[in-house]
Amino acid sequence: MNKKYTFLLPLIISAAVALGVFVGGKLNFNDTPERLFSTNSKKDKLNRLIDYIDYEYVDDVNTDSIVDVTVNSILEKLDPHSVYISEKEMDRVSENMKGDFVGIGVNFYAYRDTITVIKTVKDGPSFLKGILPGDRILMANKDTLYGKDYPSEVNKKK
């Protein structure tokens, strides 16, 4: 190449890059950078469905409740111990998650409709009566505890 024109190659490359940046900036892309580089289109599918319901559905829909139901359904399929707790239920559940029957001296885990002992307080009333970790509490004060909504029943017994 002739030494007279060697300065043109960097100039042409710079002009092409500048033109590309300018034209690219003027194009209207609907996707955000996060979506362009996202590797999980399944997440996008769920988000797009919720957005579609939120903006395009004929009636007003509480999408928060749809998300809660969807998340609970997904977690239910994973295993019986995974559960989603909504922000509204968090205070109530926090109280119940403490899992203590102070009066009888046990820590428990309530799942669906059954209360299971996790551990007993050494030398506490339950320990002295022979209640062991893994035992299920089915009755208290001649009242059946299984098959009921455990948070309300547990609060009555506390």
Per-residue pLDDT, 153: 46
Question: What is the helix (H) or strand (E) element at residue 153, kind and residue range?
Answer: helix 150-157
Please state the length of the chain: 158
Task: Name the pLDDT band for 108 (thresholds 50, 70, 90).
Answer: confident
Question: What is the helix (H) or strand (E) element at residue 100, kind and residue range?
Answer: strand 100-101
Residue with tokens 């900036």: 25
Per-residue pLDDT, 69: 84
Render 17-75 in DSSP notation, one character per residue. HHHHHHHHHHS---S-HHHHT-S-HHHHHHHHHHHHHHHH-SS---HHHHHHHHHHHHH
How much of the chain exceeds pLDDT 90, in percent?
3
CA distance 120 to 106: 4
**What would the mean pLDDT of 41-61 be, rounded to a whole number?**
83
**What would the mean pLDDT of 117-136 be, rounded to a whole number?**
87
